[in-house]
Amino acid sequence: MAKTAKKGLFSSMTAVRLLLLLVFIVAIVVMDAITGWKMFSFSERGLNNGIYILRQCVFPVCVAWGMTFIFGSGLVDLSIGAQVALGANVGAILAVQAGWGYVGLIIAPLVVIVACELAVVLCSEVFKIPGWIAGLGCGLIFEAILAIWSASASKSLGSSVINLPKELKVLGTWPWNVIIMLVMFVIVYILQNRTTIGVELKAIGGDPAVASAVGINRRKALIVAIVIGALCVAVGSICYISYGGKVEGSTGLASLTTIFKALAIVMLAQSLNSFVSEPVGVLFAGIFIMALVDFMTKLKIEAGTLQEVVLGAIVVICGVLSRIGYKGVAK
């Protein structure tokens, strides 16, 4: 007969999760206290700063969810920043100049980013080159396309192609952008944890040889994962341009800076994935990192230097903590 383990009030995993939640809350409270309780204060326009933090989360968190699908399938694609800029600008052009309104604003980034991501996969699979090299190569091309395009557009727009008018920016405003993020969370959570797609994605990312041996069609699973990931990135891109009104392009792979926070969120979430599933980890890591950025801004720590140092250090520390107890031999 099988023995049934006696359960206490909580399983050890639940206890660890509760502890993590407690650490998260305490960290936010400590940051709030250090800023003189300004992190949840109301602005002159009556908007709570906590909501501002949540709004700031939407873009990097959506992109980070996309990355969990793309990176999870084994493809480390660093052209995502360039895809975001290209997709957002094509969407804005169709929305404003072609007069398609929200249809253009939503459909175009979805199509463009899925197409870009498939181009990267195709490049990697057909030419048998590592995904990160294919991604960097394609990223340079995507950046160049936007740069050439924006050069022919109005000079007043800098390196972006077009500015969104106010009536097309609703998806970037409270509460719609946060609602979009929460809906995305539910979809991503279900896809990754409760569907065959999620299981096959983890299998091909974890061990492609075993996945193939048990009959998983690696290429099909890869394409599905990439398309879903690209769709998540596209949603982030739509919210991004709707929030700021325009997305500037860049060259020389400077588009990587657009996704730095999303990358930090993914790394932080991965360091926690022994305790919580990645979609949940991404959400909490996103809120934590954006709260940290807000906290540092309130302390007048400059963006671009010390803020990134702190973010980098947090990611490294979480990585180290997650490896405690790892059993293995360095080859």
Partner 1 sequence: MADIVLKIEHLCKYFGATKANDDLNIEIPRGAVLGLAGENGSGKSTLASMICGIQKPTSGKMYLNGQEYAPKSPVDANAHKVSMVLQELGVVGSMDPVLNMFLGRTKQFAKGGLLNLNAIKKEAEAQFEKWNLTKVPMTGVAGNMSIEQRKVLELARALSIDPKFLILDEISQALSHDNRKVLYDFIKKFTSPENGGTILMVTHDLEEMVEICTHISVLRDGKIIDTRRSEEYEMDELKRLMIGREVSGDYYRADQEEIYSDEVVLRVEHLNVPGELVDINFELHKGEILGVCGLSDGGIHSVGPALFGISEHRTGTVEYVPGKVQLKKPLDMIKTKGAYLSKDRDKDGLMLDASIGQNISVPNVRLLAGAAKFLSPKKVNDLSQKASVDFEIKSSGLGQVVKSLSGGNKQKVNLSRWLVQDLDYVILDCPTRGVDIGVKAYIYGVLKKMKESGIGIILISDELPEAMGMSDRLLVMKDHEMAGMLSRTTDFVEEKIVEVML
209: contact with partner 1 by CB under 8 A: yes
Q: Angle at which helices 278-298 and 176-194 pack, to 10 degrees?
A: 150
Distances, alpha carbon 254 to alpha carbons 78, 82, 182, in Å? 11, 9, 29
Q: Which is nearer to partner 1, 126 or 214 (CB)?
A: 214
Distance, CA of 57 to CA of 55 (rounded, Å): 5
Distances, alpha carbon 269 to alpha carbons 238, 247, 283, 306, in Å? 23, 26, 8, 22
203: contact with partner 1 by CB under 8 A: yes
Query: In this chain, which stretch among 18-26, 153-161, 189-197, 250-258 interacts with partner 1, using CB under 8 A?
Result: 189-197
Distance, CA of 199 to CA of 203 (rounded, Å): 6
Taking CB under 8 A as the criterion, the residue among 19, 98, 179, 190 binding partner 1 is 190
The residues near 147 (Cβ < 8 Å, ≥ 6 apart) are: 159, 249, 250, 251
Distance, CA of 171 to CA of 174 (rounded, Å): 8
214: contact with partner 1 by CB under 8 A: yes
**Residues near partner 1 (CB under 8 A), total:** 27
Distance, CA of 154 to CA of 167 (rounded, Å): 21
Query: Which residues inside 292-331 make contact with partner 1, applying CB under 8 A?
Result: 325, 327-329, 331
Q: Which is nearer to partner 1, 172 or 281 (CB)?
A: 281
129: contact with partner 1 by CB under 8 A: no
Site map 240..279 versus partner 1, x via CB under 8 A: ----------------------------------x-----
Q: Which residues contact partner 1 (rule: CB under 8 A)? A: 2-3, 13, 190, 194-196, 199-200, 202-203, 205-207, 209-211, 213-216, 274, 325, 327-329, 331
